[in-house]
Amino acid sequence: MTKADKDTRSVFVEREFAHPPEKVWRALTQPELIADWLMQNDFRLEIGHAFSFSAEWGEIDCRVEEVEFQKVLSYTWSAFDVATVVTFTLEPTTKGTLLRMEQSGFLRDQKQALGGAKGGWTAFLNNLQTTLDQL
C-alpha cells in the first residue's frame, strides 16, 4: 500500500437483490437501464471506452477500466475536481445477488464529495431495486 492509498477514502454500499446476477448485470451495463436508475449516459461495455453520465447539475467523465462478465464492472468517475473509481462486484446468493459497490480514491480534503457519494449511492441503489423489479 502506498502513502497515497493511505490518504484516500472509499464509500462502500452493499445490497442483496432478489434477482439473478444476469439481471443485475443487465441493469449495470445496458445504457437505457443505467439511465433508468442512475443517469443519462453513453456507456458501452468495452474496456477503455470513455463515456459520461449527465444530470441537470452537470456531467461526470468516466472510462471503463475492468469488465469480468456478470462479476465485476469498474470505471473511473471524475467530476468537480474529484477523481475516483467505481467498482461493482456481483456475487450469486441463495436469494439472488449480493451487489457490492465501492467508490474509491476520495482525498482527505474531499469530505463533502465523500458524504455526497454515501447518500447518492444509497439512493441510486434504491432506484436500481425499482428498475430490477420492473424488468
| Sign, CA torsion 40/102/66/135 | negative
State residue 129's pLDDT score. 98
Number of helices (H), then strands (E), belonging to the chain: the values are 4, 7
Q: How far apart are the C-alpha atoms of 112 and 119, rounded to whole Å? A: 11
Residue 114 · residue 106 · CB < 8 Å? yes
The rounded distance, in Å, linking the Cα atoms of 47 and 71 is: 15
Span 4-47, pLDDT tens digits? 456 899 999 999 999 999 999 999 999 999 999 999 999 999 99
- What does the pLDDT read at residue 3? 46
In the chain, domain spans: 3-134
Q: What is the pLDDT of residue 6?
A: 67
The overall average pLDDT reported for the chain is: 95
Would you identify the CATH topology of the domain 3-134? Answer: Alpha-D-Glucose-1,6-Bisphosphate; Chain A, domain 4 (3.30.530)
